[in-house]
Amino acid sequence: MKKRLRRNAVLYYAMQMLVLGIPILLIPYLSRVLGLQGFGLISMGQAFAGLVFSVIEYGFQITATRQVAARTERGEDVSDILSSVMSAKFLLAAIFSFFGGISLWVVPAFRDNQSIFLIALVYGILQGFSFSWLFTGQQRYKMAASLDFSAQLLSLLLIVGFVHSPNDAWLALTCYATAQAIIQTIAGFIAYRSHQFRPFSLAQARSELKRGRFVFFQHVIGTFYVRSSSLLLGLVATPQAVGIFAGADKILRGTMIPIAPLRQLFLPIMSARLARSEDSAVTLLWQLVLGTQVIALMIGGLLFFFAEPLVRLILGPELAPAANLLRLFALLPAIIFALEIFTVLWMLPRHQDAQLTKITMATLVVSIVLGLGLGALMTWRGTGLAVLLTNVFTMVLVVRSITQPGWRKLLPSRR
């Protein structure tokens, strides 16, 4: 049984690497076909869609996955969990669709390109209705990863097939949204084929939202500060400046793909270790920290010493200034990898949700102030500096929080 689960987990990790890698393959194509302005517009659209997704997903990938895993372990039905989570998602989608319209008037690029805003909104909502949390909680890793992979592969095929000119930024977003619509329809059919369908329930939705509110605040605020940089820059600069920043940011995120699936794989493992022995959990914590820091230092060296060839190869000559920003970003992998381990794989399993929420709220305020202020003064250079300073600020808060009980408790046992 354990061998099968380990094999499925490894397969899940490998397929998630492919899922996250396919969008990186599209960057060279989109940056050249759409040009600097079109690439900036689609980057803003993707950032907004990511924010919509984060609101609707609400952190269910953590909270609902834990509920489903516990029920599945006891052999119990999870139809009521599926119903309450989907009811909550419908409610969140309706609320955000109403209030999210403010962005149409606040962001100049969206005012001038309303189709980008509308398609990005639909794309984000479709992403938010993912059933990945259900399949992962049931340890159907192959199913979850296959659906995610299919969505990304279909997006790639549609974009290469239909997006051919600088005026096609809206069409590229439509391709992303179409792929999500098809795959989520298939996922819904699979989910409800083996679970009882129940109609929308406002009471269930409110109960589910209340249960996961602390994780939601940490999740959505944290995601906002990570993904909002392009949107904030769009408030004070041109789409061309957004394109330069987004180009360097996408390369940075692409090189850090290995860390993303680790969160989902090691969260239940760390929770189980903490339940058995804190010494065992501390040992695993530092194994993860040291292992990921080695990878982070290699990535940082790659970004710093090979910034210019990477930008020429991936983004093309029109986005050449992004190389200077990429060198600055070489400092970020070590910080971001450590933050992921300490927050998701240490603070959350130890139920430090309240402290984490306070940290992410402080981070959000700092990121907005620095992003708008430095972005207005130095455009894409200022936004890049704001991202670096915000991550340093967050790291200081996290280290302070986890060492408050006494830093010696974080030392591995010598026994």
Chain segment 266-297, per-residue pLDDT in tens = 776 787 788 788 888 888 899 999 999 999 99
Sign of the Cα pseudo-torsion (253, 387, 225, 249, in order)? negative
Contact criterion met (CB below 8 Å) for 117 and 110: yes
Same domain (yes/no): 262, 394: yes
For residue 81, count CB atoms less than 10 angstroms from its CB and return exposed for 0-12, middle for 13-18, buried for 19 or more: buried
pLDDT at 281: 87
Query: What is the number of structural domains in the chain?
Result: 2
Q: What's the confidence (pLDDT) of residue 266?
A: 78
- Residues 254, 25: contact at Cβ < 8 Å? no
Residues 370 and 411 occupy one common structural domain:
yes
Give the range with max mean pLDDT: 109-123, 224-238, 341-355. Answer: 109-123
Amino acid 359: pLDDT: 86
Q: Is the pLDDT of residue 163 over 70?
A: yes
**Same domain, residue pair 227 and 205:** no
User: Is pLDDT larger for residue 303 or for residue 17?
Assistant: 303
Distance CA 230, CA 18 (A): 25
At residue 361, the pLDDT reads 82
Query: Quick one: 151 and 299 in the same domain?
Result: no
Is the model more confident about 258 or about 200?
Answer: 200
What is the pLDDT at residue 410?
Answer: 62
Q: Are residues 165 and 253 in the same domain?
A: no
Residue 281 is part of which domain span?
212-415
- Residue 234's pLDDT is what? 87
**pLDDT value, residue 415:** 47
Same domain, 365 and 314: yes
Same-domain check for residues 409 and 325: yes
Q: Measured between alpha carbons, how far is 296 from 304 in angstroms, rounded to an integer?
A: 12
pLDDT at 223 over 70: no
Q: What percent of the chain has pLDDT over 90?
A: 41
Q: For 176-222, what is each residue's pLDDT tens digit?
A: 999 999 999 999 999 988 887 777 778 877 877 777 666 666 666 65
Residue at a domain's end among 210, 232, 247: 210
Do 74 and 203 lie in one domain? The reply is yes
DSSP-H helix ranges across 100-238: 102-106, 108-112, 114-128, 132-137, 141-162, 169-193, 202-211, 213-227, 229-236
What pLDDT is stored for residue 307 in this prediction? Answer: 96
- The predicted-structure confidence for 104-160, as pLDDT tens digits, reads as follows 777 888 888 899 999 999 999 999 999 988 888 887 877 888 888 899 999 999 999
Verify that 205 and 227 share a domain, yes or no: no
pLDDT given at position 277: 81
Do the beta carbons of residue 97 and residue 121 sit within 8 Å?
A: yes
Radius of gyration of the chain from its Cα atoms, rounded to whole angstroms: 21
Mean per-residue pLDDT of the chain:
85
Q: Which of 210, 229, 253 is the last residue of a domain?
A: 210
d(CA 399, CA 343): 10
Is pLDDT of 4 > 70? no
The last residue of a domain, from among 162, 193, 210: 210
Same structural domain for residues 119 and 181?
A: yes
Q: In this prediction, what percent of the chain has a pLDDT beyond 70?
A: 87
Residue 196 pLDDT: 79
261 and 376 co-located in one domain: yes
* Same domain flag for 1 and 130: yes
Question: Which contiguous run of DSSP H or E holds residue 65?
Answer: helix 60-73
